[in-house]
Amino acid sequence: MLQNLIRRTPRPGDVSRLTTPELREAFLLEKLFVPGALQGCFTDLDRLVVGGVMPVDHGLELANHKETGRSFFLEQREMGILNIGGHGRITADGQSFELERLDCLYLPVGTREVSFFSRNPAEPSRFYFLSCPAHSRLPMALLKSRDASPVALGSQTTSNKRVIYKLIHPGGIKSCQLVMGYTALEPGNVWNSFPPHTHCRRTEIYFYFDLQDGVVSHFMGEPQSTRHLFVHDQQGALSPNWSIHCGCGTSHYKFIWGMAGENQVFDDMDAIKPLDLQ
């Protein structure tokens, strides 16, 4: 079942006055993966639902919740799923999809029955998902990690050499409004999405993984009133449309990014000059 049912984000002016525990309670996603469970929450960020599914000995069904206001979960929603764990399988309306690590599955609006399985309980799958409202149906689609198109960005001199993998976007898996992918930092690089930006037409959710015992300092808030969250492996951060989002880790790592909002234009963002940050 979905936990922490509604995550309501504070107003920009209130964020600068929050204590550390209050800031973490509002924006940090601490535990999305629990063995044998489906975890997640609804947010007030473009009605995005974020969660994790970790099947072990048996399959887990995507059950409906009254918060959708519909007769089944994806009746008026679409969903993107990325496996960051062991080999698994997802069944959707009679179709079966095998997902190895970093494979991505898109489920369109109207998908009625969805179940998640791990191939090996000793190495369970970890299905991270995002879901947002949708009003047109696109084809159900699986993208294998080997078929994702990498885009190299950054440089070693600025410690942000990284590769972006766009998965659900106008040039890849088509969706109604969901945009989703992940970024992998090269060894010896620690900064992501720097210089930072905002994009008032879309909200975003980050999910950090492959950190091992490291941490990321995730920066957020208005550009002239920044805050930070210390994020551990397999934790996420909510990013309202008015907030910057960038991070610096103790080593290289990966993170999943997902957005929904007015458009799907990846580079529709308002850049912030580093020297203007406060």
Q: What is the mean pLDDT of each run of 10 residues along the chain (278 residues)?
A: 74 94 96 95 94 97 93 98 98 98 98 98 98 96 95 95 96 95 97 86 92 96 96 97 95 96 71 89
What pLDDT was estimated at residue 51? 96
Asked whether residue 214 is assigned to any structural domain, the reply reads yes
Domain range enclosing 125? 6-276
Asked whether residue 32 is assigned to any structural domain, the reply reads yes
What pLDDT was estimated at residue 266? 64
146, 130, 238, 243 alpha-carbon torsion, rounded to 10°: 80
What gap in Å lies between CA 208 and CA 195, rounded to an integer?
19
Asked whether residue 1 is assigned to any structural domain, the reply reads no
Asked whether residue 261 is assigned to any structural domain, the reply reads yes
What gap in Å lies between CA 165 and CA 83, rounded to an integer?
14
Nearest-CA neighbor of 186 among 110, 252, 276? 252
Strand, coil or helix: what is 22? helix
Domain count across the chain: 1
Asked whether residue 129 is assigned to any structural domain, the reply reads yes
Strand, coil or helix: what is 183? strand
Does pTM top 0.75 for this prediction? Answer: yes
What pLDDT was estimated at residue 263? 65
What pLDDT was estimated at residue 35? 97
What pLDDT was estimated at residue 196? 87
Nearest-CA neighbor of 103 among 27, 208, 180, 193? 180
Residue with tokens 């620690």: 190
Asked whether residue 238 is assigned to any structural domain, the reply reads yes
Amino acid letter, residue 104: C
Under 8 Å between Cβ of 184 and 165: yes
3-class DSSP string for 249-273: ECCCCEEEEEEEECCCCCCCCEECC
Nearest-CA neighbor of 251 among 222, 213, 220? 213
Q: What is the CATH number of the domain that holds 141?
A: 2.60.120.10
What pLDDT was estimated at residue 201? 76
* Cβ-count burial 178-210 (b if 16+ within 10 Å, e if not): bbbbbbbbeeebbbbbbbbbbbeebbbbbbbbb
What pLDDT was estimated at residue 1? 56
Query: Which residues, other chains included, contact 88 with Cβ-Cβ below 8 Å and sequence gap of 6+?
Result: 55, 98, 99, 116, 117, 118, 119, 124, 125, 127
CB atoms near residue 243 (< 10 Å) = 23
Pairing of strands 216-222, 246-249: antiparallel
Under 8 Å between Cβ of 260 and 203: yes
